[in-house]
Structure 1
């Protein structure tokens, strides 16, 4: 009676090994909901990858990246290596409360001059990665500020600079021209480091970058394509909890809607508490995407919204908005009616879904 993520363990582990082997210096990313697996489980799997001997010793210590300081407690006892926090350090919040026992393992990301000075005042031997602002325009130093940071660090000999980071956008097309432009600023800063941490570069781009900057160690930070790169190894299923026959016009649900025609109502596990029915912006501005949005709006206006629950290969309609832990679906007359206890497939966005159970074979 749950929303379950089932994983073909052999196939998934083979994919993880292949990604690690193809990405020297790989830094697995475990953040948020852990891409549906939970960050704790991914931390254990990152340790397993290291124990498989797939870590490149020339790339530095094995490292796991987390999204925020709050996530450190969930991974620190499950992964033995360094812990890179991707969120920039600020002189407020939980970044000030790092467990002293972890201080030597935690690598802070810094993107502002004032924060760099403040962090080193508090912890002169802090381990830091300097983030360079990219076209993402999210966090990071401008070129002049990166050079100023380099000058500041000459007066802070205890600081341990672990490299420079670039978080690139997901937009299609090559990022190489932008990386080369940004690397000119990095080289000009004359920092005491030869390590570059990058996100969202393809294998071809990483190879070209290593060739162009052979004296730098490239550390690719990889999340989605590592954990979710082989979707065929992952299956999400919901349990049919109840089935009710309804006639046209018969009322049902929280809002007393009338059935549009005769058929069946299915109550299935999985609701808003799991992330079902909660849609995040896709960023797709194509005409096809806009037409789909208009179509969904039209269906919603008359009480029909396509659900992510699939029965016999067809996505079925919500009978009403999802409940907290269950959803109600409408099956028209003539469709096969699943039995109570049967599992039906669900299409989800893994980064926004919380599963009741994760089963890895």
Structure 2
């Protein structure tokens, strides 16, 4: 029994096709946990889409991508000569490196004279990149194949990207992240001599939430009398049923990234959730008989104990129940594409 990601293949692929139709030169991003689907499956899907280039996040992801995708592979993290010079595949002719500094470019060229590169510009994201006034020189020194720009979430990026286009000079391909199809279209109207390619992950793989669902197996069910103690921490429980389901911390269950809490409402929710956690009354992401029961205690590594309230019909052993999870932090045991 397992935690499984079930995918409606027809709907999922239709959403991919729609994303590509809206942005024909997009570069699929395949990184981390493969957005819950796994990197190998996404590489196969990128091949089905017929794109010539994909982007991965880090160098450890390169060997798998080169093995499972027939086209070119762009590494989005910058090459660092002090760290990456001895890694395998650096000279592979299908690999494209990201450069942000002259020292790193020189180290890469010293090891592999024909290594392919793009130059990352430092945007308002302020993560990494070369200042706008140095991008052109790095492009010239490294025979760069394009300029990469990683923008913050949201919209309104056309002006910032335009400044790089005007400062760099020449006819350059631009690889941009977190831009909309309308923004890319506007850039093409402004600079018809340039090629703009959007690097797209979430809006390609996770666009249609109705196309996929995580489901957990019910491993055990037993009645609870008020005050019964369960689990590692032997916490007393209310009357109802104890339901043991597959899915724990190793799968990413209840593993959340920090919340932005950008509005008064989101801050209030964060405070309320903190109070519930302090009182050991955290609602689980599992749905049983129309309700989301609380955790009887924090999730275990591969399963979770749920306190189903009295009056709610319990499931049977072997049933499956849906799990609400962020797929970017999910590691299912299996992915089933129907």
Give your verdict on TM over 0.5: yes
Taking the aligned partners of 2:287 and 2:85, their CA distance within structure 1 comes to: 43
Q: Hey, what does 1:63 align to over in structure 2? A: 53
- Encode CA deviations 1:139-187: one digit per residue, 9 max, x unaligned: 1100232244245x1xxxxx542100100111x3321122122222222
| TM-score, with length taken from structure 1 | 0.90
Partner of 2:2: 2
Determine which of 292, 303, 316 is the counterpart of 2:293.
316
Question: What secondary structure, in the 3-state scheme, does the structure 2 residue paired with 1:42 have?
Answer: helix
Contact preservation (8 Å) 1:309, 1:344: yes
Shift of 1:346: 0.4
Q: Which residue is equivalent to 1:212?
A: 190
User: For residues 135 and 175 of structure 1, what CA distance do their matches in structure 2 show?
Assistant: 10
Give the 5 Å matches for 1:145-184.
145-150=134-139, 153=141, 159-170=142-153, 172-184=154-166
Q: Residue 20 of structure 2 corresponds to which residue in structure 1? A: 20
Report the Cα offset of residue 350 of structure 1: 0.5
Of residues 74, 78, 98, the one that matches 1:88 is 78
Q: Is the 8 A contact 1:130 1:164 kept in 2?
A: yes
Shift of 1:290: 1.0
1:41 corresponds in structure 2 to: 41
Distance 1:267 1:240 in 2: 6
Q: Tell me, yes or no, if the aligned pair for 1:70 and 1:94 is still in contact at 8 Å.
A: no
| 2:296 and 2:306 in contact (8 A); partners too | yes
Q: In 1, Cα distance between the equivalents of 2:295 and 2:85?
A: 43
**Counterparts of 2:85 and 2:28 in 1: how far apart (Å)?**
21
Please name the residue that 2:129 is paired with: 140
In structure 2, what is the Cα distance between the partners aligned to 1:125 and 1:99?
Answer: 13
Conserved 8 A contact 1:242-1:266: yes
Separation (CA, whole Å) in 2 of partners of 1:37 and 1:242: 27
- Alpha-carbon distance between aligned partners in 2 of 1:268 and 1:150, rounded to the nearest angstrom: 54
Q: Work out the CA distance in 2 between the residues paired with 1:233 and 1:288.
A: 29
Please give the secondary structure, in 2, of the residue aligned with 1:210: helix
- Give the RMSD, CA atoms, in angstroms: 1.5
The aligned residue for residue 300 of structure 1 is: 277
2: CA distance between counterparts of 1:91 and 1:210? 35
Q: Tell me the equivalent position of 1:245.
A: 223
**Displaced runs of 4+ in structure 1, greater than 3 A?**
92-96
Aligned length: 338
2: CA distance between counterparts of 1:352 and 1:221?
Answer: 20
Deviation at 1:74, TM superposition (A): 1.2
Hey, what does 1:228 align to over in structure 2? 206
Question: What runs of 5+ residues in structure 1 fail to find an aligned partner?
Answer: 56-61, 154-158
2:30 corresponding residue in structure 1: 30
Q: Is the contact between residue 111 and residue 131 of structure 1 (CA under 8 Å) also seen in structure 2?
A: yes
Q: CA deviation at 1:94?
A: 4.3
TM-score by length of 2: 0.96
How far the C-alpha of 1:284 sits from its partner, in A, is 3.4
